[in-house]
């Protein structure tokens, strides 16, 4: 008889913290795209006689993240040396945390296709990143710019039951780290990376079987595919009564979409951990921990609920949560309009549309001040809604303020009905065919007449007024 199997999955997540400098020295922490080995110093290169000094901002960011993951930040924790040799590790050891990590026992709620689930967080600790190796033919090149970047390592409980759940959890975790400004978590820049552990067991059993650890998954797609691949491989072994007897470590080959055996799983003893002698324990007063957390931080789930209550769609809420800069803009406009429909139209439809059309990112969007000025101009009826669109498009392309653009382009709405009346009279004379069609019952024909007026006035006539005057003239 075939036993029904269930997957037991846990993750170890490494997230780079977005500090200005590295974890133990003053080197810049902005390594992406920089000339190799230009952001290094004797401390992060592990030269003899140098001393590491912990980065206060990194510790604070790790505490903020811990609190957002509902972990208990420990009043006292300390750094440990994790010894291993690899060419990307100039010191020959990583400064990490082992038996006394920064934070313990948290939880994350995440949405999956079958409802809201929870995943326990075992621990969050601080450590430094290694450098980066590039393999070119028979040569390997070392770039140490990233060596010493502050990392948070977040370890989950084995609470996940499918590849899909693992991805949903990881995406929610990413949103939380971004929300508390502890990490930019840009996957493309390798700022967030996963190791996944997976084992199977017959459904109903409580014990855990030896797991496979999949190393270095750099995208949500790789995480999902690698877990799917291992799930299939392990299922086949179980069905042949060849369930793994020991723990193994495998690597994911992105191009070939398969895992390969790296080694038997290493144990803590292999690293010969010992307390880091150069750094004193991290000791915090409860009040200083509390001051870093608290109600000021709005978590992604709370933000989602706030937007859904404004009648935004799930997709719109998600878009805003995933882009803090856009969220900031949206909230400022919403505060002024107090009209979510209008705010969505301006920010999510028009502004995002123009940015996309001009190949620009949200960081190149007009400032909040400029957007609020534009709203003012519409509210005071200085420009028509149509002209406002044109102004916004120009604001995106030129970076100028709305008032400058309105002046330059002469877009100020014509308030003088006499002037509109004159234009309407001209329009009737210039479009005899359209008027004839209208007389024969074709309502839509008048669009051409109104369009003629709008064109002549360069969009500065209010179309509603134009329509009213036109009807009044025609019906006499
Ligand atoms: Zn350095
Ligand atoms: Mn680690």
**What ligand is nearest to the CA atom of residue 126?**
2
Burial tier of 286 (Cβ tally within 10 Å: 0-12, 13-18, 19+): exposed
In 3D, which of 213, 171, 163 has the Cα closest to residue 192? 171
What is the distance of C-alpha 291 from the center of its chain? 25
Ligand 1: centre distance to CA 149 (Å): 9
Residue 45: per-residue pLDDT: 95
If one counts every other C-beta atom within 10 angstroms of the C-beta of residue 250, the result is 21
438 Cβ contact partners less than 8 Å away, ≥ 6 residues apart: 445, 446, 474
Place of tokens 């030129």: 398
pTM given for the model: 0.74
In 3D, which of 179, 148, 171 has the Cα closest to residue 40? 148
Measure the CA–CA gap between 361 and 347, rounded to whole angstroms.
13
Ligand 2: centre distance to CA 464 (Å): 64
Ligand 1: centre distance to CA 180 (Å): 26
Instruction: Give percent of the chain with pLDDT exceeding 70.
Output: 97
pLDDT in tens, 31-84: 888 999 999 999 999 999 999 999 999 999 999 999 999 999 999 999 999 999
**What ligand is nearest to the CA atom of residue 13?**
2
If one counts every other C-beta atom within 10 angstroms of the C-beta of residue 12, the result is 17
CB half-sphere exposure, 395, CA atoms < 13 A: 28
Residue 57: per-residue pLDDT: 96
**What ligand is nearest to the CA atom of residue 147?**
1
pLDDT in tens, 121-155: 999 999 999 999 998 889 999 999 999 999 999 99
Residues with CB under 5 A from ligand 1 (ion): 25, 27, 41, 43-44
Ligand 2: centre distance to CA 168 (Å): 22
More confident residue, 243 or 42: 42
Q: Where are the beta strands (DSSP E) in 113-211?
A: 115-128, 132-136, 139-143, 150-156, 192-202
Residue 465: per-residue pLDDT: 79
Ligand 1: centre distance to CA 293 (Å): 30
What average pLDDT does the chain have? 89
Measure the CA–CA gap between 452 and 117, rounded to whole angstroms.
58
pLDDT in tens, 186-202: 988 889 999 999 999 99
If one counts every other C-beta atom within 10 angstroms of the C-beta of residue 206, the result is 5
Ligand 2: centre distance to CA 52 (Å): 18
Ligand 2: centre distance to CA 157 (Å): 16
**186 to each of 14, 221, 304, 336, 436, how far by Cα in Å?**
12, 14, 21, 31, 61
Ligand 2: centre distance to CA 120 (Å): 18
């Amino acid at each position: 008889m075939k036993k029904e199997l269930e997957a037991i999955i846990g993750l170890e997540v490494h997230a780079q913290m977005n500090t200005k400098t590295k974890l133990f020295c003053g080197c810049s922490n902005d390594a992406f795209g920089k000339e190799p080995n230009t952001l290094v110093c004797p401390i992060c290169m592990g030269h003899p006689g140098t001393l590491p000094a912990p980065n206060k901002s990194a510790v604070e960011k790790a505490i903020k993240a811990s609190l957002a993951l509902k972990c208990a930040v420990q009043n006292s924790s300390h750094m440990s040396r994790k010894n291993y040799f690899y060419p990307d590790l100039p010191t020959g050891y990583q400064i990490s945390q082992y038996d006394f990590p920064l934070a313990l026992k948290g939880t994350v709620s995440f949405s999956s296709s079958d409802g809201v689930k929870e995943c326990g967080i075992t621990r969050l600790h601080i450590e430094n990143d290694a450098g980066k190796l590039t393999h070119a033919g028979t040569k390997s090149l070392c770039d140490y710019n990233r060596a010493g970047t502050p990392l948070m390592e977040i370890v989950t409980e084995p609470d996940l039951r499918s590849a899909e759940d693992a991805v949903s959890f990881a995406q929610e975790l990413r949103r939380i780290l971004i929300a508390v400004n502890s990490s930019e978590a840009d996957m493309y820049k390798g700022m967030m990376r996963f190791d996944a552990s997976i084992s199977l067991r017959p459904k109903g059993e409580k014990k855990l079987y030896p797991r496979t650890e999949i190393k270095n998954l750099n995208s949500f797609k790789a995480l999902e595919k690698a877990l799917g691949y291992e799930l299939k491989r392990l299922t086949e072994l179980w069905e042949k009564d060849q369930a793994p007897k020991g723990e193994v470590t495998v690597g994911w080959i992105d191009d070939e979409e398969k895992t390969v055996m790296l080694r038997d799983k290493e144990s803590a003893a292999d690293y010969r951990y010992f307390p880091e002698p150069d750094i004193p324990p991290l000791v915090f007063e409860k009040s200083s921990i509390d001051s870093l957390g608290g109600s000021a931080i709005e978590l992604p789930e709370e933000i989602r609920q706030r937007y859904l209550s404004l009648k935004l769609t799930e997709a719109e809420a998600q878009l805003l949560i995933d882009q803090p800069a856009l969220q900031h803009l949206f909230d400022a406009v919403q505060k002024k309009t107090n009209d979510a429909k209008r705010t969505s139209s301006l920010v999510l439809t028009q502004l995002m549309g123009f940015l996309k059309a001009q190949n620009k990112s949200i960081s190149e969007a007009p400032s909040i001040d400029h957007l609020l000025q534009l709203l003012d101009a519409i509210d005071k009826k200085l420009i028509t809604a149509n002209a406002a669109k044109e102004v916004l498009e120009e604001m995106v392309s030129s970076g100028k303020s709305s008032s400058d653009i309105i002046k330059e382009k002469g877009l100020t709405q014509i308030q003088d009905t006499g002037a509109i009346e004159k234009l309407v009279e001209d329009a009737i004379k210039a479009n005899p065919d359209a008027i004839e069609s209208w007389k024969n019952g074709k309502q839509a024909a008048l669009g051409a007449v109104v369009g003629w007026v709008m064109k002549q006035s360069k969009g500065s006539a209010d179309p509603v007024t134009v329509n009213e005057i036109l009807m009044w003239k025609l019906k006499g």
